Structures are given as C-alpha cells and as structure tokens.
Amino acid sequence: MDEEQGEAGDSSGGAEGTTSFSRRDALRIASALGLVSLGGGAAWALLEGELAHQPAVSWHKSVCRYCGTGCGVQVGIRDKQVVEVRGDEDAHNRGKLCIKGSLLPVLNTLPGRLTTPLIRKDGKLEPASWEEAMSLVASRFSAAIREDGPNAVAFYGSGQLYTEESYTANKLFKAGIGTNNVDGNPRLCMASAAVGYTRVFGKDEPPGAYEDIDHAKVFFLAGANPAECHQPLFERMLARRRADPEVRIVCVDPRRTMTAEYSDFHLAPRPGADLLLLWSMAKVMLDEGLFDDKFIAEHVAFRTNEGKAAGLEELAAFLEDFVPEDVEVQLGISSAQIREVAHLFAASDATMSLWTMGFNQRVDGVALNTTINALHLLSGQIGRPGATPMSLTGQANACGGVRDTGSLSHILPHGRMIAKAEDRAEMEKLWGVPEGRIQAQPGLHAVALFQAIEEGKVRCLLNMCTNPGQSLPNLARYRDAMDKVFLVVTDVFETASTELADVVLPSALWLEKEGVYGQSERRYQLLEKLLDAPGQARSDLEILVDLAARLGHEQLITAKTPSAVWDEYRLLSAHSKYDFSGMTRERLRAAHGLQWPCPSETHPGTVRRYIAGDPFVPKGQEVRFYGHPDGRAYVHLVPYEDRSDPVDADFPLVLTTGRIVEQWHTGTMTDRIPEIRQGTPRGHVEMHFADADVLGIRDGEQVRVQSRYGAIEGPVRVTRGPRPGTLFASFYDAKWLINQVVCDRVDPLSKQPDFKTTAVSVRSVSA
Amino acid sequence: MSLFAWVTLGVGGLTLVLGLLLLIRGPSWLKRTRPIQLGVVALSGVATYKLVAFFAIAALPVATLGAAHVELLEGAKSVEACAGCHVMWPMVNDLHDPASDSLAARHFKNRYIQGEECYHCHSGYGFNGALSAKLEGYRHLVRYTTGIYQEPIRMRGKFDTASCLNCHEGTRPFEAINSHHVASERLAEGTMSCTNCHGPAHPTRSERTPGDAHYQGLMRDPL
Amino acid sequence: MKLEIVLTLVAVLIAIGFVLSRNAYLMGATVFVATPLLVVAVVYYLARVIRELRDHDVL
C-alpha cells in the first residue's frame, strides 16, 4: 500500500524523467514559488518595520552659541524642541564640537527664562508690559540727552549679539543720537588684537584662516589654551600632528594647561614678561640669519615706538637689549629654550601662531600683538598655507558683530576711525545723516564708561547680551557705578547685571532669532530662527528698532528685520576693503559660511588675505599689504616695559583669570545646565604646591585672596598647574566674583583691561 | 575557510548528491531494493527511500542552511565581508588610509584592534550580538541586492556608544577628561555621541556623494 | 516529491555558492531566497508526511 501511496503521491509518473505535467503539478510549483516570494518579502517587510523608526527629526544647519571657533552645528528638532545638536561634518570643524556645544539641546528649555519686561519699583523688579518698559526707557534716555547732551547716554554691547543687532545699535547711537559712547565686551576681549592688526597691516582681522592649520609645521601657541577654549581647533592641530610626525606644537603659558600637556614644548614665562620672549626670539633670528631678507625688503617697513620710520639698523640696535642670556632671568625661560623656539619658529616650512587672551588682556596687549605679527614678518612666515599669525577670537561674534561693524567707541564700520574726519564724513554720507552728526571725539571705552558712570557723567546705559556685573575688572567699584546709572539690561536669565538693573528686557536666545555670526577666520555664518522665544521675549534687534522709533530715529533705522539690516550692511561694505557685498542671505543660507572679502555673488570668499587671490591685491602681485598706502606691513619697535600690576612684598603673587572648557564666561547659560553645574567645581583659586607649602596652605582650605583692588575668600586647589608664583581662577561662578580682585589697568592704546596679571596676596582663613 | 564553511560545503555536497540521485534515478530505484539489515532493524526498500528522502529534503538541507547562516553571521565580522558591497568601499578604504583622521583610520593606524576591525565597533553582527543589529544587517542586504538605496548611504538609528565605552571607559586617559564625566549620563544613554567631540568615524556623507571630489578615490575596490 | 527535492537542491546550491564566493548577492539570496525555498520544501514535505501518517492512523 505504501508503494501505491508513494506512487500516487508522486504524481509525476514514471521514474525515468518522463514528466507528464499536470495542472496539479503546475499549481504545486506555482504555490511553492508564491510562498517562497511571500516568505522572502514578508521577512523583508518585517525588517523594514521592525526596527523602530524614530519619530521624524528635522535637521537644520546652524552655528554654536558660544566661542569664537564658530563651529557649524546640525540642530535636530522634533515637536518644536531641540533634541540633539551634532557637529556639522561639512563645516570647517568637520563634525567636532566641545562639551558646551554638545549640550546645546538643553539650552532653550532651561528654567528661569526671563519672559516679561521688569521694572524696578521700590528696589524690587516687578513685571511690566513692553509698552510700559520701553516708554520708560525712551523717556529716561530722551531726558538725559535733552538735559546733558548725547554723551549722557551710552550703549554697552556684546560679541554675542548678532551682527545685525550690533550694527543697528551702533548706527542708532552714533548717527542717530549722536554719541560715540558705544562699546562692549569685545573691549575686554579683542581690542588689543584689533589695534595690533591695524597697526601692523593697516587693517583689522587675521590674514589667514583655520585652513592654515592643515598646512602648518610649527604651531606657536601663546597666551592661549585652545585644548580647553577652542577645542575643535586644537583637535585640528592634533590631527595635523598625527598626519605629519614632524609637526611641533609650542605652548607659551605661565600655566601648565591641558594645551601644554599635549604640546611638544612648554615655555612658562613669568607673567607680564613675555614680550621679552618675542623680541629675544627676533634677536636669535637676526643673529642666526633666519630673517627673510627678501620679504623684508619688499613688503615690510619699520616704525619706532614714537612712530618714526626706521630700518634694519634701528632694528638691530633695538634688539641688542634682547640677547637671550640677558633676559632669561627676568623672563623666566632659559636662553636655551629661547634659542630652540626661535629656530623652530623661523626655520620651519610653515609657522602658524595662535594667541588669545594671554596676549590681549594685558597692559601691553597691543605691543604683544604687534610683536608676534612682527616675528612672522621678519621670518617670512606669512602669506602661504600654514604660515600666518592667527589671533583667536573669544566670542562667537566679536569679529563680525563688533569689530567689523565698528561698534566700539573709537571706530566706525569697516575699519573707519572716528578720529579721522574723512571717515566720519563718508559714514555720514553713506548713512544719509547730516554732516557733523557723528561726533569728532571718540567715545568712552568700557572702563572709562563705567568710570564716567561713577562720576555721574553718563546717566543712562543700554546693556545688551553681556554681564558686566560679573565680568568687569575691579568689579566692586563698577558694580557700585552700575547701581547709580539708569541701567537697562537685556538678557535671557537673571544675572549679576540684571540684579543691578532698573529695567530688564527679556531677550530671545540662540535659535529664537535669526542673524549672522562672524568668527575668528573672517567667516560669516547664518543662524536661522528655528524656535519661538518664550513668553514675551523679543530679539535684541526688535528692541533696538523699537527704541529707535521712540527716540525719533525711525527715518534712520529703516531696516527692521534681520534680512533687511543685513542687506543694508553688506551693501555698505562695498565701500571698503571688507567688501562682502556678495554674501547675500541666500548664499549664507546655503553655504557653511563665507569668508570675506567676497565682493560679488559669484565670488567664493577669500581664504587668505594680502596675497594673490585676495580681490584687493592687484593682478600680477603675489603679496600686497594694501591696508597701508605703501603696500607694506609695519614692524613696530616697542620696547619692553613692565607696567603690570606691581608685585611686591605685600602682594607677592600674580593672579591670572581664564576659562575652562565646560563653562562659558560668566556661566549665565552653562552654569544653569545641570550636568555642567554638577560636573564643575564652584569658584576657587588654583595654586602651585610650592607656593602652598611655603604659605602653609593645604588643598581645600579656605583662603583669602587680596589685591590692591579687592578681596575674596574661597577654597583653594593645590595643583602643579600654575607657575610657582602664579594663581589661576575662573569666573563662571556667580556666587564667587573673582573679578573683584582683578586690576583695571588698561593698555594705553587699546584700552583693554589686564585680567592676566594682578598682584595678590594669599593667606589661609580656615579656622 | 572556516569550520562552518566546511560544514556547509560538506553537508551541502552530500545533500546535492542524495538529492540528485533521488531526482534523477527516481523513487522507484530505491523502493525496489531488497530490505537492508541494520542490526535488528530491517529496512524495506520503501523505508530506505523514505529515510534517504528525509535526509535529502529535511535534515541535511536544514543543517546545510543552518551552517550557512552561522557562516554568514560569523563571516560578517570580517572586513572583507563589509567590503563585499561597493557602497562600503569608502569606509574600508578610509580605514586603511594612513592619511585619514577619521576615528576608524586612527584606531587602525594605531593597531588598537587586530583583525575584524569593523566588527569590534559594530559588534552586533556576530552570533552573540544583538538581534536588532543582525536584523538591521539583513535589511542592509536586501536594500543593497535589490538596489533600493541612495548614495550616500545613511545609517538608520544611532550608533551604540556602548561600543566606544566598552573599551575606553575606565581607562586613565578617559577618566582624566572632566568633560567625559559631565557627559557620562548622556553617553551611557546614547543621547550624546562620542563623535560629537571626537569627529566622524568614517568619511562624511558629502564625501560619499557621487560627484564629490573625494568620491572617486573612496570608491576604489579595496580588495 | 520532485518539487521538494528541486526546491531543496536550489536552496543548498545557493548556500554553497555563497560560502564559496562570499558575494553580497549570494549572501542576500541565502537569507531571502534559499531559506524560504527550504522552508517551503520542508513544509510541503512535512505535509506529505503528516498526510501519510494520518492515512496509517498513526496521527
């Protein structure tokens, strides 16, 4: 029976391949194949569906809120909230951010946002309407102007405002109200660099770009801690060194920072003496024949400190004072190291120096800036890939927003000077205001402004997007001054400045408004509005436009939206060597920023200035420093003079302040982010174990740090970071105002305060 | 060739032989044999046939395909396996490129991982990995073989930061960086990627887009 | 049982082909063609077996 069954079941008939194909067979085959396809297809469908699709996140190009690196970011938004921020792989930072940038998703939903205007009534800040607040501001400003003239009011702005906002404020105050009292926190940050570049090249802003990092052979980092403060740039330098093992990183810093740890050479000068290093390096270069004589002959001119023309003889005579063996004791760096570094700098295929606050926030900040530039000019380390003097900017928009728009008390847009009559006249014409509207006298720089407030000369101050109540040097004195003046503060959270304000206006934060940021390498990038501001918060531009109208200047401030302001401003640039009139909003929307000069809509932007390729360098010329009529860059023979806060028996140590990677400036944003707040120590001072031992101070103790300006008590951390004789503190803790201790000496040319060398004493106050 | 490859070949070969025999010679061939004596059991011709059929149709093929599947999963760990699809050539070429600064290239250059480099980070693929990783791998297979993909290819979902942390967390250099502690919860959850600070692991999407300057160079056959 | 045998042989051939060549397409075929082929073949075979066992009053 089985046989039968078998036979019957096997309906294909005989054994020897005779296939009588019946319909049943066809059906079986068809069904089998059908099932196979179904099986395969079902499996695939399951796979496609099984793996949980994230609900759709839309990604948007933007720029980080924080430092002057200006990293491109991709912002992931779902349900009108930022869910993730990633580095933009296609931007200059190649997908890399630092921890602050990575934690940006938290920023816009932090609790405590200011959502309504506040007016101080009977000592307390009370909620008010925009109408009430703005009319109060307008009436107080008008009254002050009417009674004491335009210089009775002032604007204190920020390198974190959008370019459109700073431009509008600058125009309103200088060409509307008619006061040059427009200054801002870049005075505390970049003024020395700006003045330095201008004195050397005739024009502000770096000649090179971040791209030079990919070609340099020697990195000369001075007064900078990019491993913490410009992290993606330092990553790029490390990547360069990984790619080419001959690359060397030199770090000049009185502290053993994270940057120093990664560097090949660490030179720790005595604070305040580093100009000796730079000139001493020049002396070595001269003696060893490492100057680029051809380059000097063709493109460099010399000026004595008094401004007289000079030549190589004067340079040689000048450098006699800087023999390494003669300066090593005062400088604190051995002559051997000086010679080593001088060789590295001058003889390498391409040397790139990068500096920031260690050079800028100094009483001789301008001298340090002009001299570091001079080293590049003398050794010919400039004007080719990898060879360039690159000043790193601290804030996201100090370059584009403040320096370039001319929003400081002594300048006008695009490199013009208030002191020059022809520059004022040109701006008056371009802005369509009557001749003489712009005051001939430069206005008050930051420290002078707060001193004038103290004296009652400035009655009203509009403070936007910055926190001088925590960031000014000699803080206690100027906080008292801020208390006196009619202070209007726009910000996103309560800060050490809002607590002194008479009117607080809630402003829109990152992504809640649209505008342009311009970072260190002359790259302008657009940040689009992706979120709504909470409550009644408004953008600073809206506030300025409103104020302008209320003060009677709506005929002047006609551009009321970010794009309108941008178009006005970029077309204005065509009248200068900044010319970025080719950077239309559409181009900025599409591109990962563009570097100026960019004079036409098809121009790709300029990576390196002053060389062939720069639209202002005449055809056929390889190099021209067109900022000066003679086409040359100037080396200024500025002698070394120790004008820092003097160290003596009463104040034997030196306090330096600075940043750490996790915290941004006064911590008004980052110190509210729980992970950052919990992950960083509260305000404290760092001390070298050698000093601690001598003073009998132990790690963790409470100490009193005292200077000629103020005092503060707090914990001490004993480390090997600061150079013996030096202390370090950061200023992000609103409950530990270290700037009370910091001196307010300024560089005589740039008026930038010296946050880096305050003479202090330290003693234990633990019970 | 590895063990399971041999098993597949061997058992598969046997299947082929038996199956072809059955097919060509037909069932009657076996059914007509005399009973075979296996110890106390006598197998009739029909019984023999059915036993052979069982092996030829069920047991052996299932074993073959089982072995093939294991071989597939284990073999997927090798760099060659990844390089089998041309859309992965950029990753493989970049991995081996001493001039590249991608995370993959840096790990390779430093010889931190010897052999099966892709798998050590994308560790879900092997037999002991996560089911979802394997399913995702199968999905890639269908997309690729049917041509339903667009260049540049993108990973669906996120890379598991645990793959980074498994090696790096707890080491002295890692622990010395304060930002790692600030980010530790987010790194553990996977809401923040290590690549956010340390850069892309592989060539970027732009570089892998046809027409980009890098595309030609990245799309060389690495094998 | 010709159909089952043919299905099986094709499945096994694909699997062997994959193991020898490591080609991506054979890899895909192994998972999405060979396996369903084998599954269907085994199902059909099992159906046959069950039917026969029923006829013999075993099941």
Encode pLDDT of A502-555 as tens digits: 999 999 999 999 999 999 999 999 999 999 999 999 999 999 999 999 999 999
What is the DSSP secondary structure assignment for residue A647, as one 8-state letter? P
Say if B31 is an interface residue toward chain A (CB within 8 Å). Answer: yes
Contacts of A294 (CB under 8 A, 6+ apart): A380
pLDDT one-digit tens code per residue, A474-483: 999 999 999 9
pLDDT one-digit tens code per residue, A691-719: 999 999 999 999 999 999 999 999 999 99
Mutate to test the interface with A, among B187, B197, B202, B212 (most CBs of A within 10 A): B197
Assess whether pLDDT exceeds 90 at residue B205: yes
pLDDT one-digit tens code per residue, A677-690: 999 999 999 999 99
Predicted confidence band of residue A26 (pLDDT cuts 50, 70, 90): confident
Any idea where the domains of chain C sit in the sequence?
2-55
Mutate to test the interface with B, among A47, A59, A670 (most CBs of B within 10 A): A47
What token pair was written down for A80? Answer: 């009108």
Q: How many CB atoms lie within 10 A of CB A753?
A: 27
pLDDT at A17: 44
Cβ contact A399:A68 at 8 Å? yes
B147's torsion region: left (phi>0), alpha (psi -120 to 50) or beta? Answer: left
Distance CA A651, CA A654 (A): 8
Interface contact B26-A15, CB threshold 8 A: yes
What token pair was written down for A77? Answer: 């938004």
Mean pLDDT, residues A622-628? 97
pLDDT at B130: 72
pLDDT at B26: 76
Neighbours of C (≥3 Cβ pairs closer than 8 A)?
A, B
Cβ contact A273:A642 at 8 Å? yes
C1: chain A residues, CB-CB within 8 Å: 9-10
Distance CA C24, CA B84 (A): 6
pLDDT at B57: 86
pLDDT < 50 positions in chain C = none
Mean residue pLDDT across chain A: 95
pLDDT one-digit tens code per residue, B99-133: 899 999 999 999 988 889 998 888 766 666 677 77
Predicted confidence band of residue A21 (pLDDT cuts 50, 70, 90): low
Interface contact A32-C40, CB threshold 8 A: yes
pLDDT at A56: 81
pLDDT one-digit tens code per residue, A92-104: 999 999 999 999 9
Cβ contact A163:A401 at 8 Å? yes
Cβ contact A539:A508 at 8 Å? yes
Please report the domains of chain A, with CATH numbers, ordered by start residue: 24-109 (2.20.25.90), 118-189+397-410+444-567 (3.40.50.740), 191-395 (3.40.228.10), 653-764 (2.40.40.20)
Say if C37 is an interface residue toward chain B (CB within 8 Å). Answer: no
CB nearest C9 (choices: B16, B65, B75): B16
pLDDT at C58: 82
Any idea where the domains of chain B sit in the sequence?
3-75, 86-218
Interface contact C52-A28, CB threshold 8 A: no
Assess whether pLDDT exceeds 70 at residue A6: no
Predicted confidence band of residue A16 (pLDDT cuts 50, 70, 90): very low
Distance CA A483, CA A212 (A): 46
Q: What is the DSSP string of A94-162?
A: TT---HHHHTGGGGGG-TT---S-EEEETTEEEE--HHHHHHHHHHHHHHHHHHH-GGGEEEEE-TTS-
Distance CA B204, CA B189 (A): 24
Contacts of C56 (CB under 8 A, 6+ apart): none
CB nearest B12 (choices: C16, C25, C45): C16
Contacts of A469 (CB under 8 A, 6+ apart): A475, A479, A482, A495, A496, A497, A498, A499, A500
B80: chain C residues, CB-CB within 8 Å: 22
Burial A702-724 (b: 16+ CB within 10 A, else e): ebebbbebbebebbbbbeebbbb
Mean pLDDT, residues A13-34? 69
Cα dihedral A50→A51→A54→A58 (10° resolution): -110
pLDDT one-digit tens code per residue, A213-234: 999 999 999 999 999 999 999 9
Between A571 and A43, the more confident residue is A571
pLDDT at A90: 96
**Predicted-complex ipTM score:** 0.91
Mutate to test the interface with C, among A36, A37, A44, A48 (most CBs of C within 10 A): A36
Whole-prediction pTM: 0.92
Predicted confidence band of residue A654 (pLDDT cuts 50, 70, 90): very high
Interface contact C25-B145, CB threshold 8 A: yes
Residue in C closest to B50 by C-alpha: C49
Say if C1 is an interface residue toward chain B (CB within 8 Å). Answer: yes
Assess whether pLDDT exceeds 50 at residue B65: yes
Predicted confidence band of residue A569 (pLDDT cuts 50, 70, 90): very high
CB nearest A102 (choices: B49, B99, B192): B192
Distance CA A352, CA A220 (A): 6
Distance CA B99, CA A240 (A): 10
pLDDT at B129: 64
Assess whether pLDDT exceeds 90 at residue A32: no
pLDDT at B125: 62
CB nearest B72 (choices: C12, C30, C46): C30
Predicted confidence band of residue A205 (pLDDT cuts 50, 70, 90): very high
Strands (E), A253-406: 265-267, 300-304, 309-310, 351-355, 388-391
pLDDT one-digit tens code per residue, A493-509: 999 999 999 999 999 99
- % of chain A beyond a pLDDT of 90: 92
pLDDT one-digit tens code per residue, A436-464: 999 999 999 999 999 999 999 999 999 99
Cβ contact A222:A252 at 8 Å? yes
Interface contact A40-C33, CB threshold 8 A: yes
